[in-house]
Amino acid sequence: MQTKITATSSSANRPRGRPVDSKQDRKTLILDAAEQLFTEYGYSATSIRNIADHADVNPALVHYYFDNKHILLKTVLERALKPMIVALATLKRSTQSSLADIVHLLVSMAAQQPNIPRLLAREVLLPGGEMQAHFMHNLAPQLGGALPALLAREQKAGNLRDAIDPAYSALMILAVCFFPFIAQTLAEPVLGIDFGDTGAPLLIDNILELFNRGLVT
């Protein structure tokens, strides 16, 4: 049975006296609504009508800007991941990228945009994910695919143990940095994990303590 989505009009959250009258404002409202609903309910359970209601726009406007729901999800995912792609490219251009730099980047990005890990889990990682093929061919090389090269460079510089495999280590780093945010709804009440302002630094410290005993020389 399809999940019923109760849309909350975004007009209540808009600053008073600031009408949404530009193309960019309307597109941003639609993208924000789509990101929230795709993350919370999934692609299949979210309709264009749900997104339009949540963004307080006409469904025809959603189709006008994004043509169809698949293109909208693709745009949502690319927008959410762009800051991380840019940051990883910066690390690749730098002379060195320590394990601490990589962990700090991944956890900080996830903390700032907690929808990213959950959206990836729903629509990329699970079998049949709507964005799996697009992610694999277009986004993965710039994201997780960049990590093995960064780790291999640190290994060659003598900063990581010779025994580690950069590809396997990259997978473990991604898992440990992103999974807490995928599991946030349970991690907070069950484990007492803090995802507030102090949560990300504590998470980074604990991840580095874990890895430093097995990866760093």
pTM for the model: 0.80
Q: pLDDT at residue 10 above 80?
A: no
Q: Which residue has the higher pLDDT, 143 or 104?
A: 104
Residue 144 lies in a domain: yes
Nearest Cα neighbor of 55 from 74, 79, 36, 78 is 36
Judgement on whether residues 156 and 202 belong to the same structural domain of the protein: yes
CATH for 140 = 1.10.357.10
Residue 118 belongs to some domain of the structure: yes
Amino acid at position 201, single letter: P
Whether pLDDT at 136 is above 60: yes
Helix (H) / strand (E) containing 11: none
| Angstrom distance (rounded) from CA 191 to CA 177 | 16
Question: Is position 129 within any domain?
Answer: yes
Residue 120, in any domain of the structure: yes
pLDDT in tens, 71-113: 999 999 999 999 989 998 898 888 878 999 999 999 999 998 8
Who wins on pLDDT, 55 or 19? 55
What is the tens place of the pLDDT at every residue in 146-201?
889 999 999 999 999 898 999 999 999 999 999 999 998 898 899 888 887 778 88
**Which pLDDT value is given to residue 214?**
63
Residues 125 and 185 both lie in one domain: yes
Distance between CA 103 and CA 83 in Å, rounded? Answer: 15
Domain of residue 36: give its range. 10-67
Question: The domain spanning residue 27 has which CATH number?
Answer: 1.10.10.60
